[in-house]
Structure 1
């Protein structure tokens, strides 16, 4: 039941990202999606990957949110179609209720997803052959940050000059 609740929160957060006009609500939706996804991973006993994913995703999203909120001048942010979000969430709730109450869909044996995951360890993430890709991606992100700051510093009327 916790899995379905986390999936409903994940759906609501992703629809909030798609239907919001303002970057404030988009950032709220991204935070909701990232936290619910990491809780779902930790519920499936993949704790280390969930923690790393949360830290990296929230750090990158914080930088994007700062720049996108500095570029907008919304005093009163709004969501475009809250009715569609409510209808989509209601449809997903009804659909999961039908699936939960269906006796043929739920298996009675112990071959569910929590027992079938067998991860020996997460050291393969930091293997020596992948280290060059991590370093290369760090340099690319640094060059992108310098390019964005250089482009925005030439504009006198940009709101990024205040930062």
Structure 2
């Protein structure tokens, strides 16, 4: 299991570097899907199955739509791939920073523990992520209502801004 989690962490770092190294939006979307899938797999391996499912739906449902619109608006005849020198320079800088941060933080007790949250206590009837969902709906209900209201207002604002040149707020004066 340690090897599996280690490979997933390496995949997460590579996916995040694929997004952050400023390639064309086409390749950045592939890096985002990779990072989302591997990150949710890491959450599942540590016992957060419900949180992993919700995050995966949010990433692929929301963020990928944003990347699709970005890719459609920023279509280039010769997009920068991961093998271009400008992108490889960013990847080298990120890898150097990762090695320096790893040497700084992985000393002593920080790098020794690979145990998940569920493995640290005795037998539990309810897993940790399901208990968190129950608390979200009981004590955090007002936050869910507020979040829904904010999303509805955001939808109306975006619809008003993009309604058209003659009727919306972006009309020519």
Normalising to structure 1: TM-score of the pair?
A: 0.70
List per-residue Cα deviations over 1:26-80 (Å, max 9, x = no partner). Answer: 1111111111110000001110110011001211112201210121121332133
Q: Which has the higher contact order (CA 8 A, sep 6+)?
A: 1
Partner of 1:85: 91
Give the length in aligned residue pairs.
146
Normalising to structure 2: TM-score of the pair?
A: 0.66
Pair 1:123–1:78, CA change in 2 (3 A): same
1:76 to 71, 75, 78: 78
Shift in Å, 1:90: 9.1
Tell me if the contact between 1:11 and 1:89 (Cα under 8 Å) persists in the aligned partners.
Answer: no
5+ residue gaps, structure 2, are: 122-126, 166-173
Query: What's the secondary structure of 1:20's corresponding residue?
Result: coil
Partner of 2:147: 134
Query: What's the secondary structure of 1:21's corresponding residue?
Result: coil
Partner of 2:23: 21
**Aligned-partner Cα distance in 2 for 1:90–1:8:** 15
Higher helix share: 1
CA RMSD, aligned part only? 3.4
Shift in Å, 1:134: 2.6
5+ residue gaps, structure 1, are: 155-163
Q: Does residue 1:123 correspond to 2:134, yes or no?
A: yes
